[in-house]
Chains A and B, each alone.
Chain A
Amino acid sequence: MALFSKLLNKFRSGSLTSADWEEFESNLIEADLGGKLTQEIITVAKSAKPDDIESELLGALATKLSSANRALAIHPDRTTTILVVGVNGTGKTTSVAKMMKYFKDQRLAVVVAAADTFRAAAIDQIQTWGERIGVPVVVGKSEGDPASVAFDGIKRAMQERADIFIVDTAGRLHTKSGLMDELAKIRRVIEKASPIDEVLLVVDATTGQNGIAQAQLFTESVQVTGLILTKMDGSAKGGIALAIEAQTGIPVKFIGLGESADDLQLFEADSYLRGLLS
């Protein structure tokens, strides 16, 4: 928390200059909080008492977090279905692989459907992960209908009485209405067999303010229930997640921290917020 502690020290000694405030502003903007959220946080900081500034700032950031339940909606009596969606290149397939491992480690039976029939070799990628982790992957034809792959997947998951069924979908830009309709169809088709419990939107920590539009438009078509914030092992602080939570109320559920199957953690608000100020 280099920046933050510098600010704190100066604040306590009363030697805070306008240049320090500018640096603080610049750092919040660099964390991808966006202009509006940044101004709100600065206002709080400026009116804070020197002794309370740390807790006031963390508190101000915390009020921007979603109040929705962050726990995964795991259903005890039937197959829990998780639909994984997002724009291209955010790490959906890798996140699905990590979730396979996460649930398998909890001794839950997992089935995955490779409904990314668009990207060249996406099916191979998820199959390779399935073999490594030991989770069955239902595949269809390349360039086939993703909804039918998802349907075959849920059928098989129910037949095998799997605890968890995860659907990996093709990356798509949220502005392509045709592709968003395809996603809505995948959702409808699965729901004919079994309810969907979680729709997780994968957002890359390096994403800028466009992340808000992503969350809004994906929610319009498939009712997103949570975020997976990936690539948090890089230099990006992932402030866009807070901006998304503040704007849409969709909570982050998982954090991705690397390329191996173990690099997935449940979201912890405190360490995330402290990270933003570091």
Chain B
Amino acid sequence: MFDNLTAKFSSAFSSLRAKGRLKSGDIDEIANEIKAALIESDVALDVAEQFTARITERSLEKLEELNRGTNPSQAIFAIVNEELTAILGGNSRRIQMAKKPPTVIMLTGLQGAGKTSLAGKLALHLKKEGNTPLLIASDLQRPNAVTQLQTVGESIKVPVFAPEPGNGVGDPVAVAKAGVKFAEDNYHNIVIVDTAGRLGVDQELMREAIRIRDAVSPDEIFFVVDAMVGQDAVRTAQAFQEGVGFDGVVLTKLDGDARGGAALSILAKTGKPILFASTGEKVEDFDIFYPDRMASRILGMGDIQTLAEQAKRAMDGETTSRLEEKFAKGEDFTLTDFLAQLQAMKNMGSMTKMLAMLPGAGAIKKQIENFDENELVRTQAIVESMTPLERNDPKVLNGSRRARIAKGSGRQVSEVNNLVDRFSAAQKMMKQMRSGKGMPGMPGMSGMTGMPSMAGAGLPAPSHSKVAPKKKSKSGNPAKRAAEEA
């Protein structure tokens, strides 16, 4: 996500770093590079110009001070980060809940922005937070939009109010109104109204959206926008703002390589915050939008916070505490534990997506893209083909046992050997770590060897905070911990 922007920022900054002492010409140079990078990322020309003007102004103001510091380019980087966070919306905000339920959320946007998929994702997100959402099928225009919403609703077990078949039949205003009434009667505390996609220039459909709005008086109107959209986004957003109006933006398809620059322009021009981002095809691929985290991502600083939260969500408490206990007692980490971890990693979702959140992920982009998600599945198959005895004491694995495991998992004996070898190595390192010598490597991840931060992120299990309580260490990153201990 925002990959290209990230790549351009980092090349601009590395040339700056090489300079040491900065002159005002250097600032202009980097400002120009940033501006060009923003334009290639679909940021509107005037927004890019304002942004770079602010960077230049602030940097020049502080130039003396910057050059007295040890790392002037780092200081400019910090300015860019601050400004980027500011333009991305300062602080994120949550959904405004109605004083008297149901809270009504209306989704609008262009065709193909991903409103219907998003309606499902938002409903699931709200449901997980303990709400009782209802989806209302007011897109009666697109062929089978209603069926699509019903299918999505079924898969996440959220009821869908769909009295009309759609495909051009039925009155979306009446459906929306009846849906809100239905929610009141059936104690749904939130309704999400899915409306037909429309062009900003289509007056008739814009009036229809206004009629839906006036019929249900939404607490939140979200403008749903595709991260891949170009310069027209600003015009469209303004047309929607002047037409039906909106309170917040939801970004979809952020899992591609879209630079998402148009989102910056929309924020700058409409002043509305981005509340959520949708990051994949699955209905769980949805997250609250954090401007500061996104700024870090754009600048290639990674998104450790999101990663940590996902890890926490994926590991159930029981597994974690069992592992911690084991660890504290000095028992060996076994393949059974490893299997539990693999399972947890799968729960966290796509490995490539998680890896992309690591600091410096831009530099290993190719490796991340080539990471074979099936590697986890294959590793799991091998471990699952072992008996409990073998899992708990890999030393018993002789030739014939290994041959049996290979056969059982449909892999080669060499792969079994490889896994066992790497596991033993990891076990050894685990012991060392207990004595405070470093983090273990990651067995079963042959594609990713040589990734420095892998270990800390990939093995969420023995929660860092409790791993070595005597050492008062909080960090799983050996370098960081060394710094903490120093």
Q: Hey, which bits of chain A sit against chain B, CB under 8 A?
A: 25-26, 29-32, 34-35, 87-91, 118-122, 124-125, 128-129, 173-178, 204-211, 213-214, 231, 233-237, 239-240, 259
Contacts and interface: CB of A to CB of B under 8 A. Distances in A.
A245 to B, nearest CB: 16
Contacts of A231: 110-112, 199
The size bracket of the interface on B is: 35 or more
A87 B232 contact: no
Interface stretch (B140-148, B176-184, B305-313, B425-433): B140-148
B201 interface: yes
B421 interface: no
Nearest to A178: B373
B72 interface: no
Contacts of B167: 128
Contacts of A214: 228
B111 A91 contact: yes
Given A209-B41, A231-B199, A87 B151 contact: no
Contacts of A259: 111, 141-142
Interface centre among B110, B144, B226, B229 (most CB of A within 10 A): B144
12 contacts: A29-B45, A35-B39, A88-B114, A91-B111, A120-B152, A120-B155, A174-B256, A175-B256, A175-B369, A206-B236, A236-B232, A237-B232
B232 A121 contact: no
A131 B199 CA distance: 27
B259 A208 contact: yes
B4 to A, nearest CB: 8
A42 to B, nearest CB: 13
Contacts of A204: 112
Contacts of A210: 42, 228, 230, 256-259
Nearest to B152: A120
Interface in B234-267: 235-236, 239, 253, 255-259, 261-262
Given A89-B111, A174-B256, A209 B230 contact: yes
A118 to B, nearest CB: 7
A26 B228 contact: no
Given A120-B152, A129-B143, A209 B40 contact: yes
Contacts of B143: 124-125, 128-129
Given A26-B46, A89-B226, A236-B230, A208 B261 contact: yes
B372 to A, nearest CB: 9
Interface string B119-148: 000000000000000000000011111011
SS class, residues of chain A in contact with chain B: loop
Given A25-B45, A35-B39, A210-B256, A234 B110 contact: yes
A31 B239 CA distance: 17
B144 A125 contact: yes
Contacts of B258: 208, 210
A192 B261 CA distance: 42
A88 B253 contact: yes
B45 A207 contact: no
B229 A90 contact: no
B102 interface: no
Given A118-B281, A124-B147, A235-B236, A90 B112 contact: yes
B231 interface: yes
B44 interface: yes
B231 A208 contact: yes
Contacts of A89: 111-114, 226, 253
A129 B233 CA distance: 29
A209 B230 CA distance: 7
A33 to B, nearest CB: 9
B253 A30 contact: no
Interface centre among B226, B255, B373 (most CB of A within 10 A): B226
Given A121-B144, A121-B151, A177 B231 contact: no
A213 B148 contact: no
Contacts of B45: 25-26, 29-30
Give me the 7 closest cross-chain CB pairs, A-B, nearest first. Answer: A208-B230, A89-B112, A208-B42, A120-B151, A236-B232, A121-B148, A121-B147
A120 B235 CA distance: 31
Contact of B199 (A120, A175, A235): A235
Contacts of A30: 44-45, 231-232, 235
B36 interface: yes
Given A26-B46, A89-B226, A206 B232 contact: yes
A26 B233 CA distance: 15
A46 B355 CA distance: 47
Contact of A234 (B41, B201, B253): B201
A175 B257 contact: yes
Nearest to A208: B230
Contacts of B257: 174-175, 210, 213
